[in-house]
């Protein structure tokens, strides 16, 4: 059964990736907004933002980048919901179900496509950040740890995206869920330290998942000890992934029943 699952998922993932390659504007669009935000914050607003670090454009790029990467992922997963909704409304999924394939491979193909597409967008954003002065004082292991957290975060948000992709009544409804996820980094330590926020806002910012994930990636890029933040970040990512996966599979079974 496992052999069939991997084979079916590989074939269907190849199909989804070909669709993305035929429409590369989705990856470009995903990267443009975070890059524009990065340019705005660094070159327009960065001089007025006190992050507790030495003043200068370079230091704020380093501070800002982890949050921008999470916004990039939150923007990209909307396309997963849209692609899945399009397959369902176009009857493609029903055709797949009439074939001798593992049913869950349809969803996993969309999820893996999301991981690959978002990885490309993240590389583009990091490349622009390097041109803007971003420098990481880190080694290979720290880069791998940061990449693992970003992949886990992508998987968690993608499985969340699967749910509206299965249940939405329109394309706009399938993609609209991503707006709160894009907004969430703004109420975190992504752009300014949480110490500068009013009491209730600070309490929310310090106890929501984005802050621990941003702090962990920022610390890894700086080559410093991550402390307990990495375990909090991993717990949020894995917990969200497990819950979203469970709800997505329930929605999928109801949809194809």
> Rounded to an integer, what distance in angstroms lies between the CA atom of residue 154 and that of residue 220?
18
Give residue 233's domain range: 2-256
Predicted pLDDT at 48: 60
How many domains in the chain?
1
Q: Which residues touch 92 (CB under 8 Å, ≥6 apart)? A: none
Predicted pLDDT at 57: 43
Distances (CA, A) of 65 to 13, 139, 205, 209, 238: 30, 17, 18, 17, 22
Predicted pLDDT at 2: 61
The DSSP secondary structure of the chain, one letter per residue, reads -HHHHHHHHHHHHHHHHHHHHH-THHHHHHHHHHHHHHHHIIIIIGGG---SS-SSHHHHHHHHHHHHHHHHHHHHHHHHHHHHHHHHHTTHHHHHHTSSS-TTHHHHHHHHHHHHHHHHHHHHHHHHHHHTT------HHHHHHHHHHHHHHHHHHHHHHHHHHHH-SSHHHHHHTHHHHHHGGGGTTTTS-GGGS-HHHHHHHHTSHHHHHHHHHHHHHHT---TTHHHHHHHHHHHHHHHHHHHHHHHHHHHH-
Distances (CA, A) of 257 to 30, 81, 94, 253: 34, 20, 11, 6
Predicted pLDDT at 50: 57
**This prediction's pTM:** 0.90
Predicted pLDDT at 60: 84
Q: Average pLDDT for consecutive 10-residue bins of the chain (257 residues)?
A: 75 84 73 87 70 58 92 90 85 72 84 92 93 86 93 95 89 82 90 87 92 94 86 94 94 82
């Amino acid at each position: 059964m496992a052999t069939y699952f991997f084979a079916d998922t590989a074939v269907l993932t190849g199909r989804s990736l070909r669709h993305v390659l035929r429409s590369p504007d989705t990856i470009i669009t995903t990267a443009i907004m975070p890059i524009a935000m990065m340019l705005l914050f660094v070159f327009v607003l960065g001089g007025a933002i006190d992050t507790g670090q030495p003043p200068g454009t370079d230091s704020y790029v380093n501070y800002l980048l982890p949050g921008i990467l999470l916004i990039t992922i939150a923007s990209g997963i909307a396309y997963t919901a849209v692609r899945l909704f399009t397959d369902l409304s176009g009857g493609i999924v029903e055709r797949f179900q009439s074939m001798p394939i593992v049913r869950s491979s349809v969803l996993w193909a969309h999820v893996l496509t999301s991981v690959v597409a978002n990885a490309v967008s993240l590389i583009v954003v990091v490349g622009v950040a390097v041109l803007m002065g971003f420098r990481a004082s880190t080694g290979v292991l720290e880069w791998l740890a940061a990449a693992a957290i970003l992949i886990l975060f992508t998987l968690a948000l993608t499985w969340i995206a699967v749910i509206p992709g299965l249940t939405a009544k329109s394309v706009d409804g399938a993609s609209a869920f991503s707006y709160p996820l894009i907004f969430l980094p703004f109420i975190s330590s992504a752009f300014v330290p949480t110490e500068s926020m009013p009491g209730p806002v600070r309490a929310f910012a310090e106890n929501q998942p984005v802050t621990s994930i941003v702090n962990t990636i920022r610390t890894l890029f700086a080559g410093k000890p991550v402390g307990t933040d990495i375990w909090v970040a991993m717990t949020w990512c894995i917990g969200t992934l497990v819950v979203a996966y469970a709800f997505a599979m329930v929605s999928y079974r109801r949809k194809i029943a």
